[in-house]
Chains A and B, each alone.
Chain A
Amino acid sequence: MSMSKEIKVEYLARVEGEGSLHIKLKDGKVEDLSLRIFEPPRFFEAFLVGRSYMEVPDITARICGICPVAYQMSSARALEKVVGLDVPDDVRKLRKLLYLGEYIESHVLHAYLLHAPDFLGYESALEMAKDHPDIVKAALKLKQWGNRIMEIIGGRSVHPVSPRVGGFHKAPGGDDLSPLLTNLDETKRTAFDAIDWAMGLKYPDLDRDTEYVSLWKKDEYPMLDGRIRSSKGIDVPEEDFEKVCVESQVSYSTARRYMIRGKTPYVVGPQARVNLNHEKLAPEVQDKARELGISFPISNPYKSIIARTLETAHSVIEAEKIIREYRPPASPYVKREPRAGEGAAITEAPRGMLFHRYSIGPDGIVKKASIVSPTSQNQTSIEADLLELAPKLASMQNDKATWLCEQTVRNYDPCISCSAHFLKLDLTSE
């Protein structure tokens, strides 16, 4: 007797943006699998042409309301390379603090409000809060602390106004950051307890040979800059992104998708970063990982939530250090007149490497823009995970199977609004 089964998720919930998933199984084998993204295209790379380079970080921030700082940082750095300026160390530190605030906001949002309900069997964090009010309340406080960092430095947490090409329009005064030190012990405790909590979750099995890719720096956990490294030996400068991470097209797909040299799927994001850089996490976080018996690499994609909690605790420790040592920079920004040229940069967005390349004219007007978001890089890996998982789904009840697929997609914290670069995928497996 042949058994067929269809799983349809018409609208993926708890992701930022819109997508749907169709899987068709026959006799336990995948007959059809499609992860469809129907986020409307917004054409940033087209309308950036003709704008001044100074407007770019304000505009690209609007690609994603969850990680605007990532877009501001990648675009600012790429444009700084075009005009030939390096921000001084004190400005770089302030950028890092702002970015750490975004990591905390974004990771806590995903880990607790979007992803945790899957592990604990709730439809949403609001439902979860009825049974676990203390966990959700503590998480909201921690998220608020991340947002507070962005509000003080950037003026607001969604689409901060202070970052600019060359630094900041204004740097916080000497005491402006001190409110962040109030109740800091509680903030730290929540961040570290989260690691215990994540380790206590029950994880579905999934192990797939995976290539992890992230920025890499010798003495620093990657965030603002670095070389591109992978778990399978890639080691190139950021400008070479397009040589390694190649956009590939297949006849059955309209998606802009990326694979290593156009052939193998790869993973970017928190799991890739901790796997390649765990020895540079804050010492307290490394101790905690040892104490809990966390070993690297973390290969089960569901355990990305553990990587997110490790990075959140790391971000709190790093942020505290910068806040305590903070002195306003000598000058909040460096100014350079525009000059014709091209430049590319990557920073590590909460969801993974975010690549920007710009070409501008002598008047500073953008002639060409190219942006590759983390989610468009992870898309082929999401599909690979689903394919790996698919045979198991056959014996599951339909609603359980559907939920597990959704959870699998959410492992990657897919920010679909950021990825209007890929639209629709139909994958057929014989």
Chain B
Amino acid sequence: MSKDNRVRLAVYKFSSCDGCQLQVLNIEDDLLELANQVEVSYFMEATRRAQPGPYDLALVEGSVSTPHEEDVIKKAREDSKLLVAIGACATAGGIQALRNWSDVELFKKIVYPRPEWITALKTATPISQHVKVDLELMGCPINKSQLVYVISQLLRGKKPYVPTYSVCLECKAKGTPCVVVAKNIPCVGPVTMAGCGAICPSYGRGCYSCFGPMDDPNPKPLIDYLTTQGADKGEVLRLLRMFTGYSEKFRKVVDEYE
């Protein structure tokens, strides 16, 4: 706690696009109120004043993809009482985890004229693979309402409730006709965690699982069903190997098809 008994908040960035941290700044209506309730002790995107730990609550964005990040995440864990991984990169490795199926040395050569100068781990991996994580908030990006809810619960010392069920429930509740049934559009919603508010089907497209696997998914029958309905198998597998493809529950199943 800070001197005036406020919760000390830290926001960390690892390999990422900054979009989940931006969601913190995007809670426009509540941002200044939040800044009153907590002490923003470390948040490099927002403030040049970096205060040392310990912190009461750390929000961690991004995946671990360099040797430097391996060290920083350990220190972050030591410094933080509660550590919440936010977003697809932090919870599943993110889009940059696609390198995990390839050879990072080859990737360096494709992108950089002087690959020998580039330091990067062979893999980009979720935070939980490196340190104990107290709570995971999925999404690419995270849902800002969910973020506000989780922070306010934690500030009150309460355990936040995060859904574990499929996004199909949100889609049904919203009254959106199923895009698979009505339009034969490939959609991986049935195996995807709720939380986004089922945006994609309401915009006429299938879910690409930016929130990652639901609690107990069964992707195989879904893949087989979509392909018997005429979807290209490569396309369906790529839907499950995108922003959250490296999550164990998707990875194991998709790898079997290769």
Contact = CB atoms under 8 A, between A and B. Distances in A.
Given A47-B95, A55-B242, A140-B31, A162 B203 contact: yes
A417 B17 contact: yes
Contacts of A156: 141, 196, 199
Given A14-B48, A254-B117, A133 B32 contact: yes
A47 B48 contact: no
A161 B200 CA distance: 6
Contacts of A62: 17, 19, 94-95, 140, 243
Contacts of B21: 65
A46 B141 contact: no
Interface stretch (A72-80, A123-131, A294-302): A123-131
B15 interface: yes
B46 interface: yes
Given A170-B204, A254-B114, A40 B95 contact: no
B181 interface: no
Contact of A46 (B17, B28, B106): B106
A249 interface: yes
Contact of A43 (B18, B96, B141, B234): B96
Contacts of B141: 65, 156, 158-159
Interface string A21-65: 000000000000000001011111111010110010011001111
A56 B216 CA distance: 29
Interface stretch (B64-72, B222-230, B250-258): B64-72
A370 to B, nearest CB: 9
B94 to A, nearest CB: 7
A137 B65 contact: no
A104 interface: no
B182 interface: no
A107 interface: no
Contacts of B40: 124, 126
A374 B106 CA distance: 25
B173 interface: no
A158 B23 contact: yes
Contact of B117 (A12, A49, A64, A423): A423
Nearest to A136: B32
B117 to A, nearest CB: 4
A143 B28 contact: yes
Contacts of A58: 208, 242
Interface in B33-69: 35, 40, 43-50, 65-66, 68-69
Given A14-B48, A55-B238, A65 B22 contact: yes
B203 A47 contact: no
B2 interface: no
A15 B118 CA distance: 22
A46 B99 contact: yes
Given A11-B44, A41-B120, A113-B46, A47 B15 contact: no
Nearest to A124: B47
B114 A158 contact: no
B134 interface: no
B138 interface: no
B208 A43 contact: no
Interface residues of B, number: 66
B120 A13 contact: no
A361 interface: no
A147 B46 contact: no
A46 B110 contact: yes
A192 to B, nearest CB: 20
Interface string A369-405: 0000000000000000000000000000000000100
A80 to B, nearest CB: 18
B135 interface: no
Nearest to B106: A46
Given A45-B111, A155-B202, A59 B19 contact: no
A59 B124 CA distance: 16
B20 interface: yes
B216 to A, nearest CB: 26
A47 B98 contact: yes
Contacts of A46: 99, 102, 106-107, 110-111
Contact of B20 (A65, A109, A136): A65
Contacts of B35: 126, 129
Best-surrounded residue of B47, B65, B118 (most CB of chain A within 10 A): B47
Interface of B: 13-23, 25-26, 28-29, 31-32, 35, 40, 43-50, 65-66, 68-69, 94-96, 98-99, 102, 104, 106-108, 110-114, 117-118, 120, 124, 140-141, 196, 199-200, 202-205, 208, 210, 234-235, 238, 242-243
Given A64-B18, A136-B32, A159-B141, 14 more contacts: A13-B44, A14-B47, A16-B22, A46-B99, A49-B110, A68-B17, A144-B29, A155-B203, A158-B26, A161-B203, A170-B202, A254-B112, A415-B18, A417-B16
Top-7 shortest CB links A-B = A65-B19, A124-B47, A254-B117, A13-B48, A47-B98, A46-B107, A123-B49
